[in-house]
Amino acid sequence: MYLSKESVINLFFQMNFLYSGEDIQKQGGTQFYSELKYFLALDEFVASEKRPCNTREKDDKQKFINNVGHVVQLSSPDAETSLDAKNFFDSFGVNKDFDVGSNFFSAGAVNKSLTSTSPLPFPSRHPQLLKCENGVIDIADGAYQRFANEQDYLYYQDRKKKIVLPNKKAILFFWLNRNTSFTNKNTLLNDFLNSLQMRYSQNMINSLGWNKNDSVYINIAKCLTTSENISFLEKEDLIFDSKDWLQRKKYFETWLCLNSSGDDGFRAHCVDVCEQWLEKKLPGNQIGNLFRYKDYDSYKKERDRIMNLKDFESVSNSDGTGRPRSAINHYLNFLNRMPRMDKVADDDFIKLLKILEQEIEKNPERIEALRKMLPQEHKDAVSPLSSDYKLSQIIYYGVPGCGKSNKIREKLKNVPEKNKVRVVFHPEYTNAEFIGQILPKVNGHVTYEFTPGPFTQIIKRAYLNPKEHFYLVIEEINRGNAAAIFGDTFQLLDRLKAGETDSLGNDPANSAVNTFTEGWSQYFVQNDDINAYIRKATRMEDDSYQERNEGVPVDEIEINSIHFKANTAIRLPPNLSILATMNTSDQNVFTLDNAFQRRFDMKLVRNEFDLTQPAVNAQYEAEIDDTGIKWGKFWGWINAKITATLKGLSSTEDKRLGVWFVSNVNGIIDDKIFAEKVLKFLWDDVFKFKRPQVFKAEIDTLEKLINFFENPPEGSERFGVFKDMDDLKTFEASPTL
């Protein structure tokens, strides 16, 4: 028999109780749980092997990593995709070594101890638990007492009664047994204690004072349910917002066991107050079941409203215990400690909105109302049925590989393919290819017809479908001569702002006047070929237009009160946005002059890892072949070296490597790809005039550099190509520069 999956989830949510700080989502929380897992892992190793852990030995390292998994692993050890808890709140790891190799073995005290003349303490910011000497990790003198009795670790005192409570040690007791088998519910505590005594040292058992007869342990056990099978977790299981009120009630009951010094009756009454007692005592105030609230901010408003009700004070005082007030405050504190996933449902909401668009397309005003409910960052990702959206003319710029194209891809991932056109500028790309040109066409005989380029194609679609958004995407805008490629259509990039209008007659008699408003081009160009191509359309019964590329243009198209005739000038419509990318290191290809840049919003794509995104986190943690060095560590180290080595030279920052300069496959960056892409770039471009300062003395050609890395000489390491390889090994990895 095992703990049920729901009970393991419950224990996960309670584990953040161990950390007393307010910055659990930041570095403080991650550091605390790292110290916790490494100390427990080493104690388990020492208890089993009867000696310290020698990280220079492969078997020792693997045993230590396995022991760390006993503390933080959430998924099955046999699962293809690993999942572990980093801060027992909202940060998760996906590496099968639980980041031990990159963060503990390869950086900090363990690695530094290889060259240190004296033992190094771990951690350095909190009371010492471990000591590291020449790569060997051992328990520090007095560590067990510090772990059990220091406020930085598992010490817990009731603030009111000023007595020490075993609560932190109790929740750790249950968490470490989340996958332990037991005979039945009656033997659970005894079986759990026996399991821990077999795994951990007597010093650990004695210092933590795990006591199966203590009331805290007994009360927590009452909150847990059983299962016939062992339970593992997925990330989706740990979204607190997705839990129903009964689950939140159960978590709250367990939380009270840890955070309240009251007796069984007090805790039961607290739960009852939140579930139904207040509703019964204060009828007509629409209080209801308070467990329906799952986020702190919403519940706080309701808590404040309840406490300000006219009869709340008298009802609370009549209870004689003050429990009603304590109960609703306890639930507020409980919600404040639970992870909040505010953006969990965004993607689902977008999918739902797309379905609704199809179902009620004849009522666009209803779609627009729904669209306004979307989080701001998703509004441009949905192709709406209204024309009052805020258009974009943006150039995303940054170093090579920083994620500029991915930024646009993510922005447009929900936009239908027909609503976007992508083009890549290069030195040979011309205005004729971009706008369109007259080309011969053979169909029994030779004719000459206008063949539209991507610019003209997307303009036509935007004209004919004014209730949808369209996007022209230009990759590498400065690798071609942008001014020459745009030609006279460069004029169209100036758009009318809010409150501005421009009128243009369609014929000499000025019998019909078009009034252009916000979002339309401020200026116009005459182009008969584009005009005729736009007018190649078929009018449908509902007065919409269907695009066609053959046949004779119609005399006039009327779209949103715009009369488009044979002599109507060309403007960019307000439902057409232009998004472009530019490598800062490529500015020497073609200069993008200020007049051109002024017509775009320039947005820097920062060269950093957003570890909240799974794909980015996987890239950060990707290992460079068999070197033991993660890409995130090398990326940070080499960029720091580039800045220091090239200091004072122009465009130093532009030489840095972007986070996606080279990509991983299944968590590995192939040695040949790394050598041919990264090392070649560093040799040929970045350190072209600084090679002796960076690379090993005997490496004087690119061929030797690549050969050394791909096939290092006996006794050498791949990264021995660099003069200061040791600096790389000790470098503290960070997702930002």
Cα–Cα distance, 404 to 664 (Å, whole number): 18
Q: How far is CA 277 from the centre of its chain?
A: 41
Residue 96 has pLDDT above 60, yes or no: yes
For range 642-656, the mean pLDDT: 78
Nearest alpha carbon to residue 469 among 562, 579, 373, 571: 579
pLDDT band at 558 (very low <50, low <70, confident <90, very high): confident
Amino acid 343: pLDDT: 41
**Long-range CB pairs of 429-433, under 8 A, 24+ apart, other chains included:** 429/480, 429/485, 430/484, 430/485, 431/484, 431/485, 431/486, 431/487
Read off the pLDDT of each residue in 459-480 and give the average, rounded to a whole number. Answer: 91
Helix spans in 558-630 (H): 594-597, 614-621
- Which whole number is the average pLDDT over 508-522? 70
Lowest mean pLDDT among 214-223, 378-387, 555-564: 378-387
Say whether pLDDT at 356 is over 60.
no
Q: From CA 250, how far away is CA 108, in angstroms rounded?
A: 41
Side-chain-side CA neighbours of residue 117 (13 Å):
0
What pLDDT, on a 0 to 100 scale, did the predictor assign at position 360? Answer: 52
Task: Tell me which residue of 345, 393, 412 sits closest to 373, measured CA to CA.
Answer: 345
Cis status, amide bond into 123, omega within 30 of 0: yes
Q: What is the C-alpha to C-alpha distance for residues 565 and 379, in angstroms, rounded to an integer?
A: 33
H/E segment holding residue 202: helix 202-208
Q: Are 396 and 408 in contact (CB under 8 A)?
A: yes
Statement: residue 583 has pLDDT above 90: no
Rounding to the nearest 10 degrees, give the CA dihedral for residues 190, 195, 201, 205. Answer: -30
The answer for residues whose C-beta is within 8 angstroms of residue 393's C-beta and 6 or more apart is: 493, 495, 577, 578, 579, 599, 600, 601
Tell how far CA 722 is from the center of its chain: 33
**d(Cα 523, Cα 587) in Å, to the nearest integer?**
28
Which residues lie across from 221 on neighbouring strands? none
Q: What would the pLDDT profile of 168-185 be if each residue is shown by its tens digit?
A: 899 999 999 999 999 999
Query: pLDDT value at position 510?
Result: 42
Share of the chain above pLDDT 90, in %: 42
d(CA 554, CA 202): 90
| pLDDT of 710 strictly over 90 | yes
Q: Give the model confidence (pLDDT) of 318-340 as tens digits.
A: 765 557 888 899 989 889 888 87
Least reliable range by pLDDT among 162-176, 421-435, 442-456, 581-595: 581-595
Helix (H) or strand (E) holding 358: helix 346-359
Specify whether the CB–CB gap between 72 and 599 falls below 8 A: no
Q: Which two tokens stand for residue 636?
A: 């940070």
Mean pLDDT of the chain: 84
Look at residue 53 in the predicted model and tell me its pLDDT.
96
Average pLDDT rounded to a whole number, residues 581-587: 72
Q: Does residue 197 surpass a pLDDT of 80?
A: yes
- Strand ranges (DSSP E) for 636-720? 668-669
d(CA 473, CA 352): 26
Distance CA 221, CA 228 (A): 17
Distance between CA atoms of 490 and 572, rounded to whole angstroms?
11
Q: What angle do CA 605, 609, 610 make, to 5 degrees?
A: 90
For 673-694, write each residue's pLDDT tens digit.
Answer: 999 999 999 999 889 999 999 9
Per the structure block, which two tokens stand in for 619? 């890239």
pLDDT (tens digit, 9 = 90+) per residue, 482-514?
989 999 999 899 998 887 878 654 444 444 567
Torsional class of 162: left (φ above 0), alpha (ψ -120 to 50), beta (otherwise): left
| Average pLDDT for 586-611 | 81
What is the arithmetic mean of pLDDT over 570-580?
Answer: 93
In the predicted model, is pLDDT for residue 371 greater than 90? Answer: no
CA pair distance 106, 112, nearest whole angstrom: 9
State the pLDDT at residue 124. 82
Between 191-195, 298-302, 450-454, 537-541, the lowest mean confidence (pLDDT) is in 537-541
* Residues near 214 by beta carbon (within 8 Å), at least 6 away in sequence: 166, 170
Task: Give the helix/strand (H/E) hosting 33.
Answer: helix 27-49
Q: Which residue has the higher pLDDT, 224 or 595?
A: 224
Please state, as a whole number, how many other Cβ atoms lie within 10 Å of the Cβ of residue 361.
12
Residue 453 has pLDDT above 90, yes or no: yes
